[in-house]
Structure 1
Amino acid sequence: MAEITLAQVSKRFGPVTAVAELSLAIADGEFIVLLGPTGAGKTTALRLVAGLETPDAGRVFIGGVDVTGLPPAARDVTFVFQQYSLYPHLSVFDNLAFPLRSPTRRTPEDEVRRAVHEVARLLRIEDKLGSRATQLSGGQMQRVAIGRALVRRPSVYLMDEPLSSLDAKLRSELRIELKRIQQDLGATMLYVTHDQTEAMTLASRIGVINQGRLVQIGTPRSIYEDPADIYVATRLGSPGINLLPRALFPALEAPSATATIGVRTEHLAIAKANTGAVTGKVNWIERLGDQNHLHIDVNRQQIVSLVDPDEGLDVGDEVAVTLRKPLFFAADGQRVR
């Protein structure tokens, strides 16, 4: 495996800046996830590492070697795309073996068989090796696509939202598989997604991207609990963080520059209304089995709170709202500490 370093990398497409002065260091064996909405620049950053795009400025290093001017084939990376990109006329075995049989990486056939069976075992598709790709389910096809990247044992694995086209159950299963495989191999992975659940469950560290710029990078927990600004705060959390005007809680101690108060759903204490607290009215309850989400109206501001299903609250109840661990943001959206 190898570390990856992006040093002040920028890329423009006509008038659009896709990546702006991106600096990022990924350690050997680390699983980094770039998180952001469509158009944030995540895939372009991935393609710059792969050599599928050439930066307008900055340098790309893999394993300490400057690869900025090298073609993709010389970088020892593999790329897993969002779509499966399998050869439909080939068996699963031959799809997995294809990278090892290419003219540039000709491998002895006994070594090919050993590598394919090892990867098939990791991905739990050993019983599908004789099947055509067209006979597989969506989840199995994506496992083969991932396996084709794994079989080469490159320095770096690059993954562009490989689970986004799968249904929720398959996504959940493959997230667990992918994390297990990455830990077993000690692989260096750079993974991009717009899905916060993927980012939180897979990443050693998450890099949040906005309009081509890396806004914040840190462990999933630190990004969730200590966001740098409102944009980062809204990337994680389901339901999303409550963003409320400062004036809604006049008695709350807050920095003088505070314009907006952010509070996670689990950091709201809700109880039947009593004196001395901000009060609201329960408009709607999402009953999710192990927990309820209360939708509360407080002075025409909508607040969502996470509560125990045995709390005994119902639609129409007047409730007292108390904040725990609030986050404070200035008028420009930056965090106020």
Structure 2
Amino acid sequence: MADVTLSGVSKTFGADTALSDVSMTVPDGSFVVLLGPTGAGKTTTLRMVSGLDKPDSGTVKIGDRDMAGLTPAQRDVAMVFQQYSLYPHLTVRQNLEFPLKSPILKTPQAAIDVKVGEVAEILQISHKLDNKATALSGGEMQRVSIGRALVRNPAVYLMDEPLSSLDAKLRSDLRIELKNIQANSGATLLYVTHDQIEAMTMATHVGVLDNGKLVQFGTPREIYENPVSVYAASRLGQPRINVLPAESFGGAPNGAVNIGLRPEQIIQGEGEDSTVSRVERLGDQTRLHLIFKGHDIVTVTDAHTRLTGGDIVKIRPRNPHYFDADGARVA
């Protein structure tokens, strides 16, 4: 395995800037998630590392080796993209075996059989091994696509929203399995998603991208608890962080324009009046939708609360975040 280092990487497509001076180190053996909305630069970053696209400026290294001029095949990376790419005339077993039968790897057939069996079981496709790829559902095809990467032992795994086409239960199961595989193998994995739950549950590190710029890089907990901006704060956390005018509760520091409150930063039972607009019961927790000084906010309360629409709840902030007019964090 190896670390991945991007230094000052920029990329434009015509008049559009996809990446702007991105510098980042994916530590050896880490699970790094690139997080951001469509157009933030996540997939372009992945393509820079894979060699499918070349940076206009800057360098990409895997280990100590500069990747300039190397093809994807020469970079020892395994890729899984959102659009699954299988050989339709081959069976599932043959698709999974294919990477291991390359002239470079020369894997013995006995070892191939063991590895394919292990991966098929993890991905819950053992019963489909002799089916043609064309006979699979979309979700099954994506699992085979993931399996084609997992059977290998590359320097780096690159994955672009590989779970997006799966149903909720399987997506949840595979989040756990992918994290276990990465942790147990010590693999270096760079993973692209817009799903903050995937980022929070799987990542050792998160890179938050905004319009081609890396705005924050750290552990999920660091970014959740110490966001550098409103934008970074909004990328992690469910329900999303509440953003109100800084003077809503008083005592705002100089330069603060907005106050940001995570659900757990809203203390109920004391402070100023708010009105319950909706109670959203989710089983293990209940979300409380409040109207406070004309603003809608969401917090969490006891799962068995008796509160109902129209009730008055007193609230106050605890250890809130403050942001300036540009959205940057104010100390």
- TM-score using structure 2 length: 0.95
Residue 103 of structure 1: how far off its partner (Å): 4.9
Name 1:228's counterpart in structure 2. Answer: 228
- 1:117-266 aligned within 5 A: 117-250=117-250, 253-266=251-264
Contact 1:4 1:27 in 2 (8 A): yes
Amino acid at match of 1:336: V
Relative to structure 1, is the Cα distance of residues 294 and 121 closer, same or farther in structure 2, using a 3 angstrom cutoff?
A: closer
**SS of aligned partner of 2:176:** helix
Q: Deviations over 1:242-294 (max 9, x none)?
A: 000012112xx3311111000011221223xx7xx321211111111222111
CA offsets per residue over residues 68-124 of structure 1, 9 Å max, x none? 221111101111011222223211110001122345555443443343234334434
Q: Say if 2:275 and 2:312, in contact at 8 Å, map to a contact too.
A: yes
The one-letter code of the counterpart of 2:77 is V
Give the CA deviation at 1:33. Answer: 0.4
Aligned to 1:321: 315
2: CA distance, partners of 1:239 / 1:171: 20
> What residue in structure 2 maps to residue 336 of structure 1?
330
SS at match of 2:120: helix
Q: Which moved more, 1:104-113 or 1:218-227?
A: 104-113
1:325 CA displacement: 2.1
Q: Distance in 2 between matches of 1:242 and 1:111?
A: 53
Partner of 2:319: helix, strand, or coil? coil
The answer to whether residue 21 in structure 2 is matched with residue 10 in structure 1 is: no
- Asked if the contact 1:83–1:165 (Cα under 8 Å) also holds between the matched residues in 2, the reply is no
CA distance in 1, matches of 2:122, 2:171: 17
Matches of 1:27 and 1:309 in 2, distance apart?
40
1:145 deviation in Å? 0.9
Post-superposition Cα deviations, 1:214-257, rounded to whole Å, max 9, x if no partner, equal 1001111111111000000111111210000012112xx33111
Name the structure 2 match of 1:303: 297
Equivalence for 2:24: 24
Aligned 8 A contact 2:6 2:61 in 1: yes
Aligned equivalent of 1:281 = 275
Residue 258 of structure 1 contacts residue 336 of structure 1 at CA under 8 Å; is this kept in 2?
A: yes
Q: Distance in 2 between matches of 1:95 and 1:280?
A: 58
Q: Percent sequence identity over matched residues?
A: 57
Q: What is the root-mean-square deviation in Å for CA atoms of aligned residues?
A: 1.7
Give the conservation status (yes or no) of the 8 Å contact 2:2–2:62: yes
Q: How does 1:15-94 map to 2 (within 5 A)?
A: 15-94=15-94
Structure 2 Cα separation of the partners of residues 79 and 108 of structure 1 = 23
The 8 Å contact of residues 18 and 40 in structure 1, kept in 2 or not, is answered as: yes
Aligned partner of residue 74 in structure 1, secondary structure: helix
Per-residue Cα deviation, 1:19-72 (whole angstroms, up to 9, x for no partner): 111111112111100000000000000000000000000011112100122111
* Deviating 4+ runs (over 6 angstroms): none
Q: Is the deviation greater in 155-164 or in 124-133?
A: 124-133
Alpha-carbon contact 1:266-1:307 (below 8 Å) kept: no
Give secondary structure in 2 for the equivalent of 1:179: helix
SS at match of 2:49: helix
**In the alignment, residue 264 of structure 1 is paired with which amino acid?**
R
For 1:292 and 1:101, the matched residues in 2 are separated by 52
How far residue 186 of structure 1 moved from its aligned partner, in angstroms, is 1.2
CA contact (8 A) 2:96 2:116 kept: yes
Partners of 2:279 and 2:307 within 8 A in 1: no
Return the alpha-carbon distance in structure 1 between the equivalents of residues 238 and 203 of structure 2.
Answer: 18
Query: Hey, what's the Cα distance between the residues in 2 that align with 1:239 and 1:268?
Result: 13
How far has the Cα of 1:135 moved from its partner? 3.7
Q: Any conservation in 2 of the 1:295–1:305 contact (CA below 8 Å)?
A: yes
Structure 2 counterpart of 1:24, one-letter code: M
* Paired amino acid for 1:255: P
> Structure 2: which 5+ runs fail to align?
none
